[in-house]
Homo-oligomer: A and B are copies of this chain.
Protein backbone atom coordinates (compact mmCIF):
# COMPACT_ATOMS: atom_id res chain seq x y z
CA UNK A 1 0.00 0.00 0.00
CA UNK A 2 1.32 3.42 -0.98
CA UNK A 3 0.53 4.81 2.44
CA UNK A 4 2.97 2.41 4.09
CA UNK A 5 5.71 2.48 1.48
CA UNK A 6 6.16 6.24 1.32
CA UNK A 7 6.29 6.69 5.05
CA UNK A 8 4.54 10.05 4.79
CA UNK A 9 0.95 8.83 4.75
CA UNK A 10 -0.01 7.12 7.96
CA UNK A 11 -2.45 4.27 7.26
CA UNK A 12 -4.46 4.62 10.46
CA UNK A 13 -4.73 6.51 13.73
CA UNK A 14 -6.18 5.23 17.00
CA UNK A 15 -9.22 7.08 18.36
CA UNK A 16 -7.10 8.84 20.98
CA UNK A 17 -4.37 9.75 18.43
CA UNK A 18 -7.05 11.20 16.17
CA UNK A 19 -8.66 13.10 19.08
CA UNK A 20 -5.32 14.57 20.17
CA UNK A 21 -4.53 16.01 16.73
CA UNK A 22 -8.17 17.09 16.18
CA UNK A 23 -8.32 19.03 19.45
CA UNK A 24 -4.91 20.60 18.92
CA UNK A 25 -6.02 21.89 15.50
CA UNK A 26 -9.16 23.35 17.08
CA UNK A 27 -7.03 24.96 19.81
CA UNK A 28 -4.87 26.57 17.11
CA UNK A 29 -7.96 27.95 15.31
CA UNK A 30 -9.33 29.49 18.52
CA UNK A 31 -5.92 30.94 19.45
CA UNK A 32 -5.29 32.46 16.02
CA UNK A 33 -8.76 33.90 15.37
CA UNK A 34 -9.06 35.60 18.75
CA UNK A 35 -5.47 36.81 18.94
CA UNK A 36 -6.02 38.46 15.53
CA UNK A 37 -9.20 40.12 16.82
CA UNK A 38 -7.54 41.21 20.07
CA UNK A 39 -4.62 42.80 18.20
CA UNK A 40 -6.97 44.67 15.86
CA UNK A 41 -9.15 45.86 18.76
CA UNK A 42 -6.09 47.05 20.70
CA UNK A 43 -4.64 49.33 18.01
CA UNK A 44 -5.82 52.45 19.84
CA UNK A 45 -3.69 51.50 22.84
CA UNK A 46 -0.40 52.00 20.97
CA UNK A 47 1.07 55.08 19.23
CA UNK A 48 0.24 55.38 15.51
CA UNK A 49 3.79 54.49 14.46
CA UNK A 50 3.41 51.00 16.00
CA UNK A 51 -0.04 50.22 14.66
CA UNK A 52 1.31 48.68 11.46
CA UNK A 53 3.21 46.12 13.54
CA UNK A 54 -0.08 45.18 15.25
CA UNK A 55 -1.99 44.98 11.96
CA UNK A 56 0.71 42.77 10.40
CA UNK A 57 0.68 40.53 13.51
CA UNK A 58 -3.12 40.26 13.21
CA UNK A 59 -2.81 39.42 9.50
CA UNK A 60 -0.30 36.66 10.32
CA UNK A 61 -2.80 35.14 12.79
CA UNK A 62 -5.58 35.59 10.22
CA UNK A 63 -3.65 33.74 7.50
CA UNK A 64 -2.89 30.95 9.98
CA UNK A 65 -6.60 30.77 10.95
CA UNK A 66 -7.54 30.27 7.31
CA UNK A 67 -5.03 27.47 6.89
CA UNK A 68 -5.97 25.72 10.12
CA UNK A 69 -9.66 25.74 9.14
CA UNK A 70 -8.53 23.99 5.93
CA UNK A 71 -6.19 21.61 7.79
CA UNK A 72 -8.94 20.77 10.32
CA UNK A 73 -11.47 19.85 7.60
CA UNK A 74 -8.82 18.02 5.59
CA UNK A 75 -7.81 15.97 8.65
CA UNK A 76 -11.43 14.92 9.31
CA UNK A 77 -11.81 13.87 5.65
CA UNK A 78 -8.49 11.97 5.58
CA UNK A 79 -9.12 10.04 8.80
CA UNK A 80 -12.91 9.61 9.09
CA UNK A 81 -14.47 7.92 12.12
CA UNK A 82 -14.66 4.13 12.10
CA UNK A 83 -17.85 2.13 12.58
CA UNK A 84 -18.13 2.91 16.27
CA UNK A 85 -16.88 5.51 18.73
CA UNK A 86 -13.40 4.43 19.81
CA UNK A 87 -12.67 2.50 16.58
CA UNK A 88 -9.52 3.09 14.54
CA UNK A 89 -9.60 5.99 12.02
CA UNK A 90 -8.32 4.60 8.70
CA UNK A 91 -6.86 6.78 5.96
CA UNK A 92 -9.59 7.50 3.36
CA UNK A 93 -9.08 8.34 -0.31
CA UNK A 94 -8.34 11.97 0.65
CA UNK A 95 -4.66 12.84 1.16
CA UNK A 96 -3.69 14.67 4.35
CA UNK A 97 -2.21 17.74 2.72
CA UNK A 98 0.95 18.97 4.49
CA UNK A 99 1.32 21.65 1.79
CA UNK A 100 -1.21 23.86 3.65
CA UNK A 101 1.46 24.40 6.31
CA UNK A 102 4.13 25.34 3.76
CA UNK A 103 1.84 27.76 1.94
CA UNK A 104 0.97 29.25 5.34
CA UNK A 105 4.61 29.59 6.34
CA UNK A 106 5.57 30.99 2.93
CA UNK A 107 3.21 33.91 3.67
CA UNK A 108 3.48 34.23 7.45
CA UNK A 109 7.18 33.72 8.16
CA UNK A 110 8.31 36.75 6.08
CA UNK A 111 5.46 38.74 7.71
CA UNK A 112 6.64 37.75 11.20
CA UNK A 113 10.00 39.31 10.31
CA UNK A 114 8.16 42.38 8.95
CA UNK A 115 6.22 42.83 12.23
CA UNK A 116 9.44 42.35 14.23
CA UNK A 117 11.28 45.05 12.27
CA UNK A 118 8.17 47.29 12.27
CA UNK A 119 7.86 47.31 16.08
CA UNK A 120 11.51 48.28 16.42
CA UNK A 121 10.81 51.52 14.49
CA UNK A 122 14.42 51.71 13.33
CA UNK A 123 13.73 54.29 10.65
CA UNK A 124 12.96 53.74 6.99
CA UNK A 125 16.47 53.11 5.65
CA UNK A 126 17.53 50.69 8.40
CA UNK A 127 14.23 48.78 8.21
CA UNK A 128 14.45 48.49 4.45
CA UNK A 129 18.02 47.28 4.58
CA UNK A 130 17.07 44.53 7.05
CA UNK A 131 13.90 43.49 5.22
CA UNK A 132 15.50 43.06 1.79
CA UNK A 133 17.82 40.54 3.44
CA UNK A 134 15.36 38.80 5.79
CA UNK A 135 12.23 38.43 3.67
CA UNK A 136 13.75 36.60 0.65
CA UNK A 137 15.87 34.42 2.97
CA UNK A 138 12.80 33.38 4.99
CA UNK A 139 10.79 32.55 1.85
CA UNK A 140 13.73 30.49 0.54
CA UNK A 141 13.93 28.65 3.87
CA UNK A 142 10.30 27.52 3.56
CA UNK A 143 10.50 26.63 -0.13
CA UNK A 144 13.57 24.44 0.45
CA UNK A 145 11.91 22.62 3.36
CA UNK A 146 8.82 21.48 1.44
CA UNK A 147 10.39 18.88 -0.93
CA UNK A 148 11.87 17.21 2.15
CA UNK A 149 8.50 17.16 3.95
CA UNK A 150 6.78 15.27 1.14
CA UNK A 151 9.78 13.12 0.19
CA UNK A 152 9.34 9.36 0.51
CA UNK A 153 12.90 8.68 1.64
CA UNK A 154 14.67 9.89 4.76
CA UNK A 155 17.76 10.78 2.71
CA UNK A 156 15.79 13.39 0.72
CA UNK A 157 14.21 14.68 3.92
CA UNK A 158 17.67 15.19 5.45
CA UNK A 159 19.09 16.78 2.26
CA UNK A 160 16.31 19.37 1.80
CA UNK A 161 16.25 19.99 5.55
CA UNK A 162 19.96 20.82 5.43
CA UNK A 163 19.53 23.13 2.42
CA UNK A 164 16.68 24.89 4.23
CA UNK A 165 18.97 25.47 7.23
CA UNK A 166 21.34 27.67 5.18
CA UNK A 167 18.89 30.62 4.78
CA UNK A 168 17.82 30.03 8.43
CA UNK A 169 21.42 30.55 9.58
CA UNK A 170 21.67 33.65 7.38
CA UNK A 171 18.52 35.07 9.06
CA UNK A 172 20.10 34.45 12.47
CA UNK A 173 23.29 36.20 11.29
CA UNK A 174 21.31 39.26 10.20
CA UNK A 175 19.21 39.34 13.40
CA UNK A 176 22.05 38.74 15.84
CA UNK A 177 25.04 40.44 14.20
CA UNK A 178 23.74 43.16 11.88
CA UNK A 179 20.80 44.17 14.05
CA UNK A 180 22.98 44.61 17.13
CA UNK A 181 24.40 47.87 15.76
CA UNK A 182 20.86 49.30 15.46
CA UNK A 183 20.01 48.37 19.04
CA UNK A 184 22.12 51.13 20.60
CA UNK A 185 19.67 53.73 19.34
CA UNK A 186 16.77 52.14 21.23
CA UNK A 187 15.70 53.26 24.74
CA UNK A 188 17.21 51.10 27.46
CA UNK A 189 13.93 49.45 28.55
CA UNK A 190 13.19 48.55 24.94
CA UNK A 191 16.67 47.25 24.16
CA UNK A 192 16.21 44.48 26.72
CA UNK A 193 12.76 43.68 25.32
CA UNK A 194 14.03 43.51 21.73
CA UNK A 195 16.86 41.21 22.81
CA UNK A 196 14.25 38.97 24.42
CA UNK A 197 12.05 39.25 21.31
CA UNK A 198 14.93 38.09 19.14
CA UNK A 199 15.86 35.28 21.53
CA UNK A 200 12.27 34.05 21.67
CA UNK A 201 12.04 34.16 17.85
CA UNK A 202 15.12 31.93 17.72
CA UNK A 203 13.78 29.57 20.41
CA UNK A 204 10.33 29.31 18.78
CA UNK A 205 11.67 28.77 15.28
CA UNK A 206 13.84 25.91 16.51
CA UNK A 207 10.70 23.89 17.33
CA UNK A 208 9.92 23.56 13.61
CA UNK A 209 13.13 21.79 12.53
CA UNK A 210 12.82 19.51 15.57
CA UNK A 211 9.29 18.44 14.53
CA UNK A 212 10.56 18.11 10.93
CA UNK A 213 13.26 15.70 12.13
CA UNK A 214 10.89 13.31 13.97
CA UNK A 215 10.44 10.95 10.95
CA UNK A 216 14.25 10.83 10.51
CA UNK A 217 14.76 9.92 14.19
CA UNK A 218 12.04 7.29 13.69
CA UNK A 219 11.62 4.36 16.07
CA UNK A 220 8.62 3.45 18.18
CA UNK A 221 8.15 6.95 19.55
CA UNK A 222 9.05 9.31 16.69
CA UNK A 223 8.05 7.12 13.73
CA UNK A 224 4.72 5.92 12.33
CA UNK A 225 1.38 7.12 13.68
CA UNK A 226 2.90 8.23 16.98
CA UNK A 227 5.50 10.32 15.18
CA UNK A 228 2.77 11.82 12.98
CA UNK A 229 0.86 12.94 16.11
CA UNK A 230 4.03 14.36 17.65
CA UNK A 231 4.94 16.20 14.45
CA UNK A 232 1.46 17.71 14.10
CA UNK A 233 1.53 18.64 17.80
CA UNK A 234 5.00 20.18 17.41
CA UNK A 235 4.03 22.26 14.37
CA UNK A 236 0.71 23.32 15.96
CA UNK A 237 2.19 24.42 19.28
CA UNK A 238 5.10 26.11 17.47
CA UNK A 239 2.56 28.01 15.33
CA UNK A 240 0.61 29.17 18.41
CA UNK A 241 3.83 30.39 20.05
CA UNK A 242 5.48 31.90 16.94
CA UNK A 243 2.33 33.67 15.69
CA UNK A 244 -0.28 34.24 18.45
CA UNK A 245 1.96 34.44 21.54
CA UNK A 246 4.66 36.28 19.56
CA UNK A 247 2.03 38.74 18.26
CA UNK A 248 1.09 39.50 21.87
CA UNK A 249 4.76 40.09 22.70
CA UNK A 250 4.95 42.50 19.73
CA UNK A 251 1.88 44.27 21.19
CA UNK A 252 3.54 44.44 24.61
CA UNK A 253 6.71 45.97 23.10
CA UNK A 254 4.56 48.48 21.17
CA UNK A 255 2.69 49.37 24.40
CA UNK A 256 5.92 49.95 26.35
CA UNK A 257 7.49 52.05 23.58
CA UNK A 258 4.27 54.04 23.13
CA UNK A 259 4.13 54.78 26.86
CA UNK A 260 7.76 55.90 26.91
CA UNK A 261 7.32 58.21 23.92
CA UNK A 262 3.88 59.65 24.69
CA UNK A 263 2.33 59.83 28.16
CA UNK A 264 -1.18 59.46 26.71
CA UNK A 265 -0.38 55.78 26.12
CA UNK A 266 1.08 55.32 29.60
CA UNK A 267 -2.21 54.52 31.38
CA UNK A 268 -1.20 51.40 33.29
CA UNK A 269 -0.37 53.31 36.45
CA UNK A 270 -2.48 53.39 39.57
CA UNK A 271 -5.92 54.88 39.17
CA UNK A 272 -6.19 58.59 40.00
CA UNK A 273 -7.33 59.48 43.50
CA UNK A 274 -11.01 58.57 43.95
CA UNK A 275 -13.51 61.35 43.52
CA UNK A 276 -14.67 61.48 47.12
CA UNK A 277 -11.22 62.85 48.00
CA UNK A 278 -11.36 65.39 45.21
CA UNK A 279 -12.38 68.82 46.60
CA UNK A 280 -14.28 69.74 43.47
CA UNK A 281 -16.60 66.75 43.62
CA UNK A 282 -17.11 66.33 47.36
CA UNK A 283 -19.84 68.91 47.86
CA UNK A 284 -21.80 67.63 44.88
CA UNK A 285 -21.99 64.06 46.21
CA UNK A 286 -22.31 64.96 49.89
Contacts and interface: CB of A to CB of B under 8 A. Distances in A.
A81 B3 CA distance: 14
Nearest to A23: B99
Nearest to A102: B23
A275 B205 CA distance: 33
- The size class of the interface chain A forms with chain B is 35 or more
Interface string A80-102: 01111111000111110101100
A110 to B, nearest CB: 12
15 contacts: A9-B86, A15-B95, A23-B100, A30-B107, A31-B107, A34-B59, A37-B59, A42-B55, A82-B93, A85-B92, A87-B93, A123-B268, A185-B270, A186-B274, A257-B271
Interface of A: 1-3, 6, 9, 15, 19, 22-23, 26-27, 29-31, 33-34, 37-38, 40-42, 44-45, 48-49, 51-52, 55-56, 58-59, 62-63, 66-67, 70, 78, 81-87, 91-95, 97, 99-100, 103-104, 106-107, 121-124, 127, 185-190, 257, 260-261, 263, 267-272, 274-276, 281
